[in-house]
Chain A
Amino acid sequence: MKIVVCIKQVPDTNEVRLDPITGTLIRQGVPSIINPDDKSGLEAALTLKDKHGAHVTVLTMGPPQADLALREALAMGADEAILLTDKAFAGADTWATSLTLAKALEKIEYDLIITGRQAIDGDTAQVGPEIAEHLKLPHVSYAKDIQKEEDSLVIKRMFEEGYHLISVKMPCLITALSEMNSPRYMNVGGVFDAYRKKEVKIISIADLNINKDEIGLKGSPTKVKKSYTKGAKTAGKLYKDLDEKEAAKKIVEKLQEKFII
């Protein structure tokens, strides 16, 4: 089985701080990580490899620094890594990103494509399904479990109140939830191999059958009008050991105190 896992390098949002004066994100010194949903997707692919045997390729689109995320994936056990990098790809929205990735995927053999559900820096959850549409593949999103049955996969697809079990024939695309598993650590020897034995293949626009105007900022129909940070919220107050009437009275009291009602 040939599996391609699409990953994204993102700033670790747990480490991101806000500039108290300008209110903008301080990116300096913030470590970059593999997006958690994507990392779980990679773990799912490596688990399938352990169980059934598979060739796992990781693919990312990003700046040259995204090499580190690919090396990490290689050190975890991926067999091959591809970096899509070109100034022409910059500023892409989900449409342009998914189109670029799809064009690259046309050049790679696969039975299964796994992406994360969404990235913690964008939270759109669109790129995975869009890749499937570009490639005219069936896709199942929000996967919490993947089981292989001959040439099909049985996916546990989560929704608000439960899950569906969906059987899908390969080739197909799955979007993974970080709740699916707990990704393995890299292996020390794997880190050495990632730099000494394995390679990160670079793909630029010249390697793809694509027009410059279809991708990057130019090919992005979505325009960000304004970005703003969420207002800081103080911790709520908890009143315990009150019966319903007392609790209601207390709430009304507090709301009046603050001139909310």
Chain B
Amino acid sequence: MNFNITNEQILLQQLYREFTEREVQPIAAEVDEEERFPIETVEKMQKYGMMGIQFPKKYGGAGGDNASYIMLVEEVSKACGTTGVVLSAHASLCAAPIYEFGTEEQKQKYLVPLARGEKLGAFGLTEPNAGTDAAGQQTKAVLNGDHYILNGSKIFITNASYADIFIVMAMTDKSAGTKGISAFIVEKGFEGFSIGKKELKLGIRGSATCELIFNNVKVPKENLLGKEGKGFSIAMKTLDGGRIGIAAQALGIAQGAIDETVKYVKERKQFGKSISKFQNTQFMLADMQTNADAARLLVYRAAFNKDNGLPYSYEAAMAKLFASEAAMKITTQAVQLHGGYGYTREYPVERMMRDAKITEIYEGTSEVQRMVISAHML
């Protein structure tokens, strides 16, 4: 057994850390405060080959593995949860299903620019009446000659107003239930496709979460991803991978909060000594880091399985469940250790606590993860 990361990954981590420190951290508070999409960071990530790490070079990627990719999600999320989800939604939810289920033509046309970072991706499954019950899709796709005609809407779509390429789920056969859902590749400019209301959120406030509106959108037949009726299965498999990304985001947020707290408790003095000298601080920090390390092992295991062609649905669910709940707990403890200052926006831990909450909800709530895990057990 081996828990060491490779030399290649050591160098990648060094790159990710430098990049985060110099490009992501300095604007993190502003991105949150102004609810601003960090477009300049996306452009810089493109320049350094960070938007398609896990895809082969022939498809515009860097030719790396999932572990190398999720380490980037982890590192940027230490400073900015928004940047973490922007990257994860792009790579795990949009580029990955095209890589896994797309035709060669679809890969050339859509995966190449996505993996190169020239185009940004998004994923649309959730609807007002189809959240955890994703089978209740109301968006419809009707085949008409060479095109499918899409009607309906999607909500809570990450990257929406900045994305160029969308994976969209729609019902092609209502009577078939989940087997009547199909997946489509939709471009930003398609006629009748528009971006609706932007959500005002508690955390990850820069991620441009909007509604997608489809009003008689003509989607060419060749943009059907996988086979008709396979959309639900594609969505579930995509989310299995996406969960590793979100787990890495949660892990990053948690570690970021710990790093801030370690710095703070050494500086802050009460009762004539630094608060790091109190056993309560020491024990809380020990618990926080132990939880974060446990989360890291689960996240890396899930990525390892995916990279080695092993089943990873259960592992991804467990990583996401544990890492997101650990992130919520750790960031709350970080605020507690910062005291009154932690509650103010002068310190980043309140933002991290707000950012952490969503990781327990999106890409399958904690309850859904428990369903997935127990289904593997019973």
A and B associate: yes
Q: Which residues of A contact B (CB under 8 A)?
A: 31, 68, 71-72, 75, 185-192, 194-195
Contacts of B62 in A (CB 8 A): 188-189, 192
Q: Which of B1-29 contact A (CB under 8 A)?
A: 7-8, 10-12, 14-15, 18-19
A31 to B15 CA separation, bound complex (whole angstroms): 13
Contacts of B15 in A (CB 8 A): 75, 185-186, 188, 191
Q: How far is the CB of A143 from chain B (nearest CB, A)?
A: 24
Among A71, A188, A194, which residue has its beta carbon within 8 angstroms of that of B64? A188
Contacts of B11 in A (CB 8 A): 68, 71-72, 75, 186, 191, 194-195
Q: Which of B47-55, B313-321, B323-331 faces chain A?
A: B47-55
Most chain B CB within 10 A, of A72, A187, A191, is at: A191
Contacts of A194 in B (CB 8 A): 8, 11
Q: How far is the CB of B133 from chain A (nearest CB, A)?
A: 38
Please tell me if the beta carbons of A187 and B7 are within 8 angstroms of each other in the complex: no
Query: In the complex, which range does the number of interface residues on chain B fall in?
Result: 10 to 19
Kindly state whether residue B57 has any CB partner on chain A within 8 Å: yes
Please tell me if the beta carbons of A68 and B53 are within 8 angstroms of each other in the complex: no
Kindly state whether residue B192 has any CB partner on chain A within 8 Å: no
Q: Which of B37-58 contact A (CB under 8 A)?
A: 48-50, 53, 57
Q: Which residues of B contact A (CB under 8 A)?
A: 7-8, 10-12, 14-15, 18-19, 48-50, 53, 57, 62-64, 68, 72
Most chain A CB within 10 A, of B48, B50, B63, B72, is at: B48
Contacts of B10 in A (CB 8 A): 68
Please tell me if the beta carbons of A185 and B8 are within 8 angstroms of each other in the complex: no
Please tell me if the beta carbons of A189 and B63 are within 8 angstroms of each other in the complex: yes
Q: How far is the CB of B221 from chain A (nearest CB, A)?
A: 34
A186 to B10 CA separation, bound complex (whole angstroms): 13
Please tell me if the beta carbons of A189 and B49 are within 8 angstroms of each other in the complex: yes
Q: How far is the CB of B252 from chain A (nearest CB, A)?
A: 17
Among A71, A75, A189, which residue has its beta carbon within 8 angstroms of that of B57? A189
Which of chain A's residues has its CB closest to B50's CB? A188
Please tell me if the beta carbons of B48 and A188 are within 8 angstroms of each other in the complex: yes
**Sample (11) of A-B pairs whose CB atoms are under 8 Å apart:** A31-B14, A68-B11, A72-B14, A185-B19, A186-B15, A187-B48, A188-B12, A188-B62, A188-B68, A189-B62, A191-B12
Contacts of A189 in B (CB 8 A): 49, 57, 62-63
Instruction: Beyond the given A71-B7, A188-B12, A195-B11, please list 6 additional residue pairs across the A-B interface where CB-CB is below 8 A.
Output: A71-B11, A72-B11, A185-B19, A185-B48, A189-B62, A195-B7
Contacts of A192 in B (CB 8 A): 8, 62-64
A190 to B15 CA separation, bound complex (whole angstroms): 11
A75 to B15 CA separation, bound complex (whole angstroms): 10
Q: How far is the CB of B273 from chain A (nearest CB, A)?
A: 15
A189 to B49 CA separation, bound complex (whole angstroms): 6
Which of chain A's residues has its CB closest to B11's CB? A191
Contacts of B48 in A (CB 8 A): 185-188
A189 to B62 CA separation, bound complex (whole angstroms): 5
Contacts of B19 in A (CB 8 A): 185
Contacts of A72 in B (CB 8 A): 11, 14
A71 to B15 CA separation, bound complex (whole angstroms): 12
Contacts of A195 in B (CB 8 A): 7-8, 11
Which of chain B's residues has its CB closest to A193's CB? B63
Which of chain A's residues has its CB closest to B22's CB? A185
A192 to B54 CA separation, bound complex (whole angstroms): 11
Most chain B CB within 10 A, of A31, A187, A192, A194, is at: A192
Which of chain A's residues has its CB closest to B12's CB? A191
A189 to B64 CA separation, bound complex (whole angstroms): 8
Contacts of B64 in A (CB 8 A): 188, 192
A72 to B11 CA separation, bound complex (whole angstroms): 7
Which of chain A's residues has its CB closest to B10's CB? A68
Please tell me if the beta carbons of B7 and A68 are within 8 angstroms of each other in the complex: yes
A189 to B15 CA separation, bound complex (whole angstroms): 12
Contacts of A186 in B (CB 8 A): 11, 14-15, 48
A187 to B14 CA separation, bound complex (whole angstroms): 11
Q: A75-B15, A186-B15 are in contact. Are A191 and B8 (CB under 8 A)?
A: yes
Q: How far is the CB of A63 from chain B (nearest CB, A)?
A: 15
Q: How far is the CB of B66 from chain A (nearest CB, A)?
A: 13
Contacts of B18 in A (CB 8 A): 185
Which of chain B's residues has its CB closest to A185's CB? B48
Q: How far is the CB of A195 from chain B (nearest CB, A)?
A: 5
